[in-house]
Structure 1
Amino acid sequence: MHIEPAFLFDLDGTLVDSVYQHVLAWKTALDAEGIEISVWRIHRKIGMSGGLFTHQLLRETEVEIDPERMERLRWRHAEAYRRYAGDINALPGARKLLAWLAESAIPWAIATSGRMETAAVNLAALDVDPRQTIVITRDQVKYAKPDPDLFLAAAARLETPIENAFVVGDSIWDMLAATRCRALGVGLLSGGYGSDELRQAGAVRVYEDPADLLFHIDELGGR
């Protein structure tokens, strides 16, 4: 019996070209708090949960980040990110890929470490209505990536076993989360991570972007 796969998509850098806007927004927020950190170090953390982000900041900068400051950073980041809304676009092939999956009756959902306050900007760029699509955000789970909660919640909403799902993401945090919940990780290069990094974190296949994934969809059991 053929079991149709389900696709669980990360958002930033996977469906929407927004990774560097997040990096700049975090840099703006950190600068406002007087926390010095290089841009490349911020990029390496995009995709993980905000809690882990701040814990790593503590290790790298030895700056005290109490809950009040953490909330202020989150607010400053969201405010700065919204200013980039006009520069954020869907990645090549993203809309076509989602439309193809819908037309083929292949279930899919979006699971993002971002909260809805920033995810809403990306969904608008993607022409996805969260009222008509399954979208799991950081607000809805206890832990974000690299914990698998986001993807487990998305699979549960689709009523599909997580073992039947492909987790599609652009960062090592997506691939680590996929491995932890026994889904198959599919990496995309559109967020800035390299092919070797994604494979070492658990990706079974790596493609350039959503358009390239759609071109090779037969490799993933799409019919």
Structure 2
Amino acid sequence: MTSTRRSPAFLFDLDGTLVDSVYQHVLSWREALVEHGIDLSVWRIHRRIGMSGGLFVQALLAETGIELSEADTEALQAAHARHYLRHHEAVRPLPGARALLEHLTATGTPWAVATSGRAETALPTLRELGVPEGVPVVTRDRVRYAKPDPDLFLAAADELGVDVRDALVVGDSVWDLLAARRAGALGVGLQSGGYGRDELERAGAFRVYADPADVLRRLHELGVRR
């Protein structure tokens, strides 16, 4: 009896996973915080990149003891978006990102993008990456909770019409991998967002690669044949 072999579906994070934009986000949050009279070290900001904007603000301010109203939190997120769009011209696809997505498309391997960024900041980045129309893209504004909650990846799997347990979540932060575990998917970590191998593995990554180019070279390890 023969069986049809299926490749796993891929659910990609965006910033730090497919595009080199983590530090633009860090600087944009730093500028937004300073604009509101809040002084936080850049390294503290970096450690929270990958969370939703609202949770990001809550987590950072919890470390400082500062309290903000809901309106202040919204204003901070709007300031971040404004500064990020100013920095966006420096954002580039990570090495191998376009080639990886093109290869998955050519081999009929389903893939989607699930990002904690809102459409306002994500769409220009998707255009820079060259994501074709018809590929599912789930942004923060489309789900109730963002990472480390699993909602983004569950929604992306649903749009692809696949069981999330048959999918691989590819992300650069511990928040991506925690969300993957909560969704029931296998997590693949990339070091292109600034997290180390040990951190990614502790968060649940069963494989860790340097960047999308490294993933493309070793797709056979993830069940995709050329």
| Interval containing the TM-score (normalised by the shorter chain) | over 0.9
- How far apart are 1:57 and its partner, in Å? 2.1
Amino acid in structure 1 at the alignment position of 2:217: F
* 1:37 alignment counterpart: 40
1:21-59 deviation digits (Å, cap 9, x = unpaired): 000000010000001110000000000122221221221
Structure 2 counterparts to residues 84-163 of structure 1, below 5 A: 84-129=87-132, 131-163=133-165
Kept after mapping to 2: 8 A contact 1:36/1:61: no
| Alignment RMSD (CA, Å) | 0.9
Structure 2 counterparts to residues 197-212 of structure 1, below 5 A: 197-212=199-214
* 2:223 alignment counterpart: 221
Determine what percentage of the aligned residue pairs are the same residue: 60
Amino acid in structure 1 at the alignment position of 2:126: L
Looking at structure 2, the residues matched to 168 and 43 of structure 1 have their Cα atoms a distance apart, in angstroms, of 19
| Partner SS state of residue 105, structure 1 | coil
| Partner SS state of residue 81, structure 2 | helix
* 2:167 alignment counterpart: 165
Looking at structure 2, the residues matched to 212 and 84 of structure 1 have their Cα atoms a distance apart, in angstroms, of 27
Structure 1 residues 161-170 or 64-73, which shifts more?
64-73
Looking at structure 1, the residues matched to 53 and 87 of structure 2 have their Cα atoms a distance apart, in angstroms, of 20
- How far apart are 1:121 and its partner, in Å? 2.3
Unaligned runs of 5+ in 1: none
Kept after mapping to 1: 8 A contact 2:44/2:60: no
Unaligned runs of 5+ in 2: none
Looking at structure 2, the residues matched to 220 and 80 of structure 1 have their Cα atoms a distance apart, in angstroms, of 37
* 1:21 alignment counterpart: 24
- How far apart are 1:157 and its partner, in Å? 0.3
The one of 178, 181, 185 equivalent to 1:176 is: 178
Looking at structure 2, the residues matched to 74 and 17 of structure 1 have their Cα atoms a distance apart, in angstroms, of 20
- How far apart are 1:167 and its partner, in Å? 0.0
Looking at structure 1, the residues matched to 123 and 42 of structure 2 have their Cα atoms a distance apart, in angstroms, of 24
Looking at structure 2, the residues matched to 12 and 35 of structure 1 have their Cα atoms a distance apart, in angstroms, of 24
Amino acid in structure 1 at the alignment position of 2:53: G
| Partner SS state of residue 186, structure 1 | strand
The one of 78, 83, 87 equivalent to 2:86 is: 83
| Partner SS state of residue 84, structure 1 | helix
Kept after mapping to 2: 8 A contact 1:176/1:201: yes
Amino acid in structure 1 at the alignment position of 2:173: S
Kept after mapping to 2: 8 A contact 1:47/1:145: yes
